[in-house]
Amino acid sequence: MNRAIWDTAGAMSAVRLLRRHPLGRRCPGSRPDRGRLGRVRARKKGTATAGVKRQHMGCAGGIDNGINLVHLAYVRAGTGHALIGSRQWIPAEQISDPIKAIITGLPLELTFATKGELAIGLLRYAYADGVGLDFVAGDDVYGTCPTLRAFLEEHDQAYVLRVGATFVLTLGGGTCLTCE
């Protein structure tokens, strides 16, 4: 196994293509398909793992060392769901520090991406594999990312993304309101 070559992108593409059966059979009048953007936090100790950072960890009940993964799930209500894409978020300070990057095995050409930008990448791969989503849902990390919202709108993709009460909406005519 230590000499095996793993094609992560190829494996995720195969799962996206498999979503057509049985998740791909939609009955007339059934609920819409959705793409669920989410984050997974996993506790990690030590400093040798890429992405480990002190941060709020819900699984730990407070601040602890851990990593963040951005994932995209294909969900069909009443049928099931499948994880069709995942990327690990790496903090900017680990990417910009070449010594830390080498110690943790990060590629030196890696550039920082926000969680919203990682989500855009996952959606691009899904669209390229022919995955159609009636809407995309996500929490406030995604809702407050203007780049992600613009991407979804450019692709005529319906979405429901959470935002905080202080989020500012700009309406037609330039009127600004908060969600409060």
Give the per-residue pLDDT at 3: 61
In order, the DSSP letters of 20-57 are TSSTT---TTPPPEEEEEEEEEEE--SS-STT-EEEEE
CA torsion sign, 43 to 70 to 72 to 62? positive
Mean pLDDT by 10 residues, the chain (180 residues): 63 62 50 61 68 69 80 82 87 89 86 95 92 88 91 94 86 84
pTM: 0.76
Which regions of the chain does DSSP assign to beta strands (E)? 33-43, 53-57, 62-76, 80-89, 135-138, 159-161, 168-170, 176-178
Per-residue model confidence as pLDDT tens digits over 151-171: 999 999 999 999 888 888 888
